[in-house]
Amino acid sequence: MSRPVPVTVLLEMRASGVQRPLEIIREDGTRYDVTASRYAGHRAAKSSGSGECWLCRIDGKILPLYYSIFSGRWWIDG
């Protein structure tokens, strides 16, 4: 089982309410540009719990990015 890795997310929020992740920043300061993303709905994470999920393309790979509406925190599986 993997562990949840907290991240900071630079997010575009449109007037319509649509959210789009633009960049993911890990705790060590490493930055990853999100070249494409798609909202995938509420999903279970491999690491812990569940949350709102975006499937993000980073360096040609698809990475699930999660957001908890209860804690207001973003994480990825690590």
Question: What are the tens digits of pLDDT across the range 10-58?
Answer: 999 999 999 999 999 999 999 999 999 999 999 999 987 899 999 999 9
Beta strands 31-33; 19-26: pairing state: antiparallel
Question: Which residues face 64 on adjacent strands?
Answer: 55
Q: What's the total number of domains in the chain?
A: 1
Residue 1 — pLDDT band, cuts 50, 70, 90? low
What is the pTM assigned to this prediction? 0.91
- Residue 41 structural domain: 4-77
